[in-house]
Amino acid sequence: MNVVKDKQDMRIKNVWFFHHYAVLPSMSGQIRPFNFGKLLKKSGFDATVFAASYLHHSDVNLINDGRKYLLNNEYGVPFVFLNTPSSASGLVARIRNMATFYFSLLKHSKRYAKEYGKPDVIIASSPHPLTMIAGIRVARKFKIPCICEVRDLWPEAIFSFGKLKEHSLLGRLLTAGEHWIYRNADALIFTKEGDTDYIKSHKWDTGNGGDIDLTKCHYINNGVNIEAFLKNIADNPIKDIDLLDNKFHVVYIGSIRPVNDVSMLLDAAALLKEHGDIQFLIYGDGNQKEALEQRVLDEGLTNVKMKGYVDRQFIPYILSKSSVNILNYSQFKYNWTRGNSSNKLFEYMASGKPIISTIKMGYCILEKYQCGLSLEASTPEELARTILKVHDMPQEQYEEMGRNAQTGAANFDYKVLTAKLIAVIESASGNSD
């Protein structure tokens, strides 16, 4: 591994991000690598993002010809979109999509390095493990460190959804592969504060006789670009009468899929129909959207508006008009004991409005910053009662909760997170103080 000897040399290091689902800020998807890349450049680094040309959860492929990859530097952070097929038709297509991205990283990273210069460090991100394996393999060829960023614990997430048995042959193989990644990464970044508990539970850490030193594990959650958030409120308003009335707006923004359990919001709305000033505004798309829209019609839920998909730049303005923001999840589809790394959590906090979480999480950010309430039982009845609790809250208490949310958001501003990332890069490169 190359060890940087001079701090000044460190400031001009070339960072590559391998992130299957990374997108430009004008697109819908993961913009964490872009946010990091933009701020790293301001700190004297070069940053390049390698991502898939097929945009996840969409019907868009940025490459429709024989090109192996597409370069885009529209926003000042070079993106290398590798030609990958659609993953929309099912499990086989998704596996093919992942495998294609993996082999393309191995093949075209070398070609790209010859033309534009080799990296000094690679940051390879999950959720699926092939991207991190590619990062480790490419880093070894270049004799540089690889930092693996674990955003979702695979294969645990697969086991949680019941798609695979943990103790099956394939389950054991995937777990062994996960262990290999953690052992061979030069540093590990977890987006949830309690994710190192997972390593301890498997007794993989050196404290339990294993081979993973927890000192190479770091916590950098998702976050929000507060400057851009506030600018979008001013520059991108939406003319929507539902946002401009004087009602108490219960707002949900996000995917409408089983893991989000948005149907419980409709159940709570049905219980609150008699409260004419409470209105539920649900923004987003997903495979359950049409069914929920039909429920609204069939049940006459006049206090629910299914607003559909909304472009990213309008989200800050919408949240600025909310009264309370809902983090809505199924408590049975995921292990929430280690915390939450939802992007929308930090946008909710930046809006300065109270937050209600339909599940009680470990390492709870709402509790830490006193900016929201978490349900104990996770039932429609408890959700309805908690909404009324915020609705009826004394104004001073309500405003304090909103201020706490903004204070907490400042700790997850991407400027703060990037400083943490630079410290990890320096540590993995053998150049920390």
Question: How confident is the model over 402-430, as pLDDT tens digits?
Answer: 999 999 999 999 999 999 999 999 999 88
Q: Which two tokens stand for residue 110?
A: 């070398």
Give pTM, 2 decimals: 0.91
Measured distance CA(11)–CA(110) in Å, rounded: 23
Q: What is the Cα 199 distance to its own chain's centre?
A: 21
At residue 333 the predicted structure's pLDDT band, cuts being 50, 70 and 90, is: low
Q: In this structure, which amino acid lies at residue 318?
A: I
Measured distance CA(402)–CA(384) in Å, rounded: 20
At residue 10 the predicted structure's pLDDT band, cuts being 50, 70 and 90, is: very low
Question: Quick one: which of 46, 44, 42, 51 has its CA closest to 24?
Answer: 51
Q: What is the Cα 409 distance to its own chain's centre?
A: 15
pLDDT of 433 strictly over 60:
no
78 neighbors 35 (Cβ within 8 angstroms): no
Pick 157 or 364 by higher pLDDT. 364
Measured distance CA(424)–CA(41) in Å, rounded: 16
* Residues 274-306: tens digit of each pLDDT: 999 999 999 999 899 999 999 999 999 999 999
Domains for the chain: give ranges and CATH numbers. 7-223+413-428 (3.40.50.2000), 226-410 (3.40.50.2000)
Angle 366-372-374 (CA atoms, 0-180°, nearest 5)?
A: 80
Give me the chain's average pLDDT, please.
92
Measured distance CA(61)–CA(160) in Å, rounded: 30
In this predicted structure, what is the pLDDT of residue 1?
Answer: 41
Up-side HSE of residue 176: CA atoms within 13 Å toward CB? 7
DSSP state for residue 61 in the 8-state scheme:
B
Question: Quick one: which of 150, 305, 313 has its CA closest to 220?
Answer: 150
In this predicted structure, what is the pLDDT of residue 20?
Answer: 97
Q: Which two tokens stand for residue 133?
A: 């394996």
For 7-11, 12-16, 61-65, which range has the lowest pLDDT when averaged over its residues?
A: 7-11
Three-state SS string over 182-251 comes to: HHHCCEEEECCCCCHHHHHHCCCEHHHCCCECHHHEEECCCCECHHHHHHHHHHCCCCCHHHHCCCEEEE
* Residues 129-185: tens digit of each pLDDT: 999 999 999 999 999 999 999 988 787 777 776 677 878 888 889 899 999 999 999
384 neighbors 266 (Cβ within 8 angstroms): no
Average pLDDT over residues 327-346: 86
In this predicted structure, what is the pLDDT of residue 372?
Answer: 98
In this predicted structure, what is the pLDDT of residue 8?
Answer: 40
In this predicted structure, what is the pLDDT of residue 168?
Answer: 87
Strand duo 187-190 + 355-357: pairing:
unpaired
pLDDT of 320 strictly over 90:
yes
pLDDT of 11 strictly over 90:
no
Q: Edge-to-edge, what's the strand order for the sheet holding 69-72?
A: 69-72, 79-82, 46-52, 14-18, 121-125, 146-150, 187-190, 217-219
Q: Which two tokens stand for residue 255?
A: 């995917």
pLDDT of 211 strictly over 80:
yes
In this predicted structure, what is the pLDDT of residue 26?
Answer: 85
At residue 432 the predicted structure's pLDDT band, cuts being 50, 70 and 90, is: very low
In this predicted structure, what is the pLDDT of residue 334?
Answer: 73
Question: Quick one: which of 345, 329, 332, 312 has its CA closest to 193?
Answer: 345
Q: φ and ψ at 11, to 5 degrees?
A: -70, -10
Measured distance CA(167)–CA(175) in Å, rounded: 9
Give the whole-number percent of the chain exceeding pLDDT 70. Answer: 96
Sequence-separated (6 or more) residues with CB below 8 Å from residue 85: 54, 61, 93, 96, 97, 100
In this predicted structure, what is the pLDDT of residue 7?
Answer: 43
* Residues 305-318: tens digit of each pLDDT: 999 999 889 999 99
6 neighbors 39 (Cβ within 8 angstroms): no
Strand duo 69-72 + 79-82: pairing:
antiparallel
Q: In this structure, which amino acid lies at residue 300?
A: G
154 neighbors 190 (Cβ within 8 angstroms): no
- Mapped onto helix, strand or coil, the DSSP state of residue 170 is helix
Q: In DSSP terms, which residues pair with 51 in a beta bridge?
A: 81
